[in-house]
Homo-oligomer: A and B are copies of this chain.
Amino acid sequence: MENKKEFGKHYLVEFFECDGEKLKYTNTVENILTVAAEKSRATILTSSFHQFKPVGVSGFILITESHFSIHTWPDDRFAAVDIFTCGHMEVQAAIDEMKRAFSAQNAKVQVVNRGF
């Protein structure tokens, strides 16, 4: 018998046609993700970002409410973000901030309820 309780919402966000320059290096990507997390009113616990050579970034921020993650493909001007929240957060504020900061022309959001 499965547990039918909902434990959180998982937002899978695709940012298309970004400014590729903003996706290349950890310092830029970490700063943008951190500001987005702050705007969502998440409580940041810890974070880690990895620089791929020559360009491209993978990173995550653990938050009290769960996590943010990002993987970037600068040559394709694409970033895949996910935001898992099991608390009260202003997720749309984070998405809007990233869309603006990455200069994304399109964003696609899928929401998956976790725990069903």
A binding-site residues for B, Cβ under 8 Å: 1-3, 5, 7-8, 10, 12, 14, 16-17, 45-48, 50, 58-60, 62, 66-67, 69, 71, 73, 76-78, 80, 82, 84, 86, 106, 108, 110, 112, 114-116
Identical chains bound together, number: 2
A17 touches B3 (CB 8 A): yes
Are B67 and A106 closer than 8 Å at their CB atoms?
A: no
Cross-chain contact of A62 among B10, B59, B106 (Cβ < 8 A): B59
Asked if A60 contacts B80 (CB within 8 A), the reply is no
A76 touches B114 (CB 8 A): no
A62 touches B62 (CB 8 A): no
For the complex formed, measure the closest distance between the CB of A57 and the CB atoms of chain B, giving whole angstroms: 10
